[in-house]
Amino acid sequence: MALLELRNVTRSYGELDALKNVDLSVEEGEWLSIMGPSGSGKTTMMNLIGCLDKPTSGEIWLDGTELSHLSGKALTKVRRNTIGLIFQKFHLVGHLTALENVMLAQYYHSLPDKQEALEALDRVGLAARASHLPSQLSGGEQQRVCIARALINYPKIVLADEPTGNLDEANEAVVLDFFSQLHAQGTTLIVVTHDPEVGRLGERQVNLAHGVIEKEVRHALACPLLPDQECATPEEPCDIRDLEKVMA
């Protein structure tokens, strides 16, 4: 069974159907891009997958659990254990340092562990800025803290909502590089974006329009580090995945 499965999901706000009878499944280790213009239902889908919202009808199966019947409390538990969230506007707690923001996620999940949190910051290259407040960090740095926070509890799925929307090109590259590393390590990634450059990085791309899946594209040879190339010849690091696929 797939890690995430949406079955005939509809989410309506009053008269308006933000999502209509959507079916989608995401396998473990997959990198899925969800694309579409604003108003297409991207955010609604992200909220549903992120356990921030419940469908009006239909079923959402996440890691073998059906979400639409869960209570708020149970949803919180699922969210805390299974999902790592990355936001367009970073959303760090303003009065806590970078390190404390990461530890906050540990605290809500289970146990704050300073050492582990520091390592997570080190991994995103921010060990030196651990004791800085969000207001003292640049946008790219804030987004990296956000990524460290999302990864700290080893979530099954990392869900990113326009992760590069507020970043300049250099920082965008850094963040996307992380994503490909994550993907290489086998983390399931779902990235909601309107930027085709970013969208093309996923193995699979779902285009939403007016609440329905309009198009589904497979980038069989997607190469995150060389997005412009079609990766016709297996090269680092694409070849590893291709090899895996062949073996599968």
> CB–CB of 124/144 below 8 Å?
yes
Binding residue for another protein, selected from 45, 49, 98, 105, defined by CB under 8 A: 105
**Residues in binding contact with another protein, number by CB under 8 A:** 41
149 interacts with another protein by CB under 8 A: yes
Checking phi first, is residue 154 left (phi over 0); if not, alpha (psi -120 to 50) or beta? Answer: left
The residue range among 34-42, 105-113, 119-127, 223-231 that interacts with another protein, by the rule CB under 8 A, is 105-113
Token reading at 137? 């960090």
CA 148/CA 20 separation, integer angstroms? 34
Nearer to another protein, 50 or 199 (CB): 50
Structure tokens at 157: 């799925």
Binding segment for another protein among 14-22, 106-114, 175-183, 218-226 (CB under 8 A)?
A: 106-114
Q: Is 107 in the site for another protein (CB under 8 A)?
A: yes
State the residues that interact with another protein by CB under 8 A: 43, 47, 50, 52-53, 72-73, 76-77, 79-81, 85, 87, 89-96, 100, 103-109, 111-113, 133-135, 139, 142, 149, 153, 166
